[in-house]
Structure 1
């Protein structure tokens, strides 16, 4: 539908006036989103300002709409530039030590998690993890629980089911230490530990051997993390720096897909109880390998520490190798020019994405653009105020064609709802 038609039949086509932007608003949104896409510093600043309650919706728009053309190298490079800016400022402002600056749950960590869920990251995770995870799921009766309390309770329940009574020497309500000291529990746990070590090693080997398949963007972020960390903490050991890299690659990228493979479309449906428990244990083993191990909350996992000790050197070599990719500084300059000069760039965006981004920009505009002569401030002032979110049934998607207000005369803003 052309703008003239849209204007002429506005109330007839869209009786709930106010839900849908008119042609002038569409033009303003077109200019705004062109600016946001071609100058990633604005989104980078916004990601640092918003709260954890606001970040996920914003990132959904940024990762899958604003830079949604995932096969377009110019968009990918602009997005990575945004992530680099977020990381750089986060590190400059942190007062934490080298081991913890990237490990807390912050808007910055959400940025990296969401980036990993874009197409290339999803494809990699499925290609690398699907076979291992499905192999575990096929053995749905394989119980590898090693928590002594749970093993003890399961043992008692099985005895009661088989004999109809519980032996007097196996009381309920024992402590973790008492359960761990039980010879029968130890006999059950020992072969399970061996099997867990074997499974965890198979996962680790598969991941290490897949290094050439890791998406460029993921490796480039690892490279930036290493470079920024070395600059901030010049006396940090290689072990500590690798722990930071692992905090992204494993904690924010690999491990979530192992714990909830259904959320990453690696498997269909939630895995059965036993495989799900095994996957959680494997994830914890990889976490303790990628980071400095901590067993304060689950001391019984100490028995798995040999896995971390035996594989630490191999892990650090892998994490350093991940960082060995070329940069795109020279290419980026060309791509930024191409992004600005592309003919008729377009995004598919919903009303609520438009309005939510608009609302967040206004909420933080004084920090984002304090100068009223800056382009972002001019566009935000003209658009003010932001419309409210619409009901799901009214949340239509449009093709929003993007134009640079300061270089292009806009003759035609196309909108197809």
Structure 2
């Protein structure tokens, strides 16, 4: 499915940026297998932001006094330094099957866009950062990293941390649109090459790994979610089933489970 989406895409800038069957399945797979990775990468920084009273706010319109900006910037940069150190040192905690998928993605996009040297970096960062690490920082409760709701100050600080990491993952500095964020640009410049090396290292699994029996997921929940995804994207499955006949079996099972579910709900009334 990843390969098909790449084949259909014309511009690298919009690759995997929409919500499709492929990206929805990848989102669910990363969330199901990525908990240990998230614990080793972003958890400590999330707790630090939640437990501390210091804000990361830089926007002058959101500050009580302009003098707060300096201390807030220092705190934000300290959190960013800490979280990227955790991320860059946690390659081995990332699910090897996900890393193999990243390898396949890099190989495919390099073949389609051989004259774009950064497309291999962007395709991996688009999943690892934009669809896993940054969303986990923005909504740590949804990723089962915390049980308490962050305070308003902590929530805003987490938004800013995720925003800065997203710019770093995109290898883009802040510009005139948000001049108060330009204080983060030296951090981005300092870590650009490290980011590229990290993403290449994540994808450095050229052989498909053996199934990991130690994966502690929730099979019932995962199967229920998978069924919901298939129902929501049934038209896409039907369209792809002409090229991949095995998807016809997926559609048949999806319809069967939907009928069983409806029968159960009718009986429970």
Q: TM-score, normalised by structure 2?
A: 0.79
Structure 1 residue 257, shift from structure 2 partner: 0.8
Query: 2:42, 2:137 within 8 Å by CA — same for their partners in 1?
Result: yes
Pair 1:124-2:24 in alignment:
no
Correspondence for 2:105 = 225
Superposed counterparts of 1:229-308, under 5 Å? 229-237=109-117, 239-293=118-172, 295=175, 298-308=178-188
Distance 1:138 1:194, change over 3 A: same
Pick aligned residue for 2:22 from 92, 108, 118: 108
Correspondence for 2:214 = none
RMSD: 3.8
Pair 1:150-2:30 in alignment:
no
Aligned length: 258
Superposed counterparts of 1:29-108, under 5 Å? 86-96=1-11, 98-108=12-22
Query: 1:352, 1:395 within 8 Å by CA — same for their partners in 2?
Result: no
Structure 1 residue 351, shift from structure 2 partner: 11
Query: 1:355, 1:388 within 8 Å by CA — same for their partners in 2?
Result: no
Instruction: Out of 219-228 and 252-261, give the one that drifted further.
Output: 219-228
Correspondence for 2:216 = none
Query: 2:100, 2:203 within 8 Å by CA — same for their partners in 1?
Result: yes
Correspondence for 1:212 = 92
Correspondence for 1:190 = 70
Pick aligned residue for 1:313 from 193, 196, 199: 193
Q: Which has the larger radius of gyration?
A: 1
Query: 1:295, 1:302 within 8 Å by CA — same for their partners in 2?
Result: yes
Distance 2:100 2:235 in 1: 32
Distance 1:271 1:228, change over 3 A: same
Distance 1:102 1:361 in 2: 16
Q: Name structure 2 gaps, 5 residues minimum.
A: 212-218
Query: 2:76, 2:161 within 8 Å by CA — same for their partners in 1?
Result: yes
Query: 1:223, 1:323 within 8 Å by CA — same for their partners in 2?
Result: yes
Distance 1:198 1:147 in 2: 18
Distance 1:296 1:219, change over 3 A: farther
Superposed counterparts of 1:158-173, under 5 Å? none
Give the 3-state SS of the residue equivalent to 1:99 in structure 2: helix
Structure 1 residue 194, shift from structure 2 partner: 2.2
Distance 1:271 1:94, change over 3 A: same
Distance 2:246 2:122 in 1: 40
Structure 1 residue 370, shift from structure 2 partner: 5.5
Structure 1 residue 287, shift from structure 2 partner: 0.3
Map Cα deviations across residues 203-240 of structure 1 (whole Å, 9 max, x no partner).
Answer: 00011111111111221122122111101100012x34
Distance 1:361 1:284, change over 3 A: closer
Distance 1:354 1:243 in 2: 27
Correspondence for 2:48 = 135
Query: 2:40, 2:93 within 8 Å by CA — same for their partners in 1?
Result: no
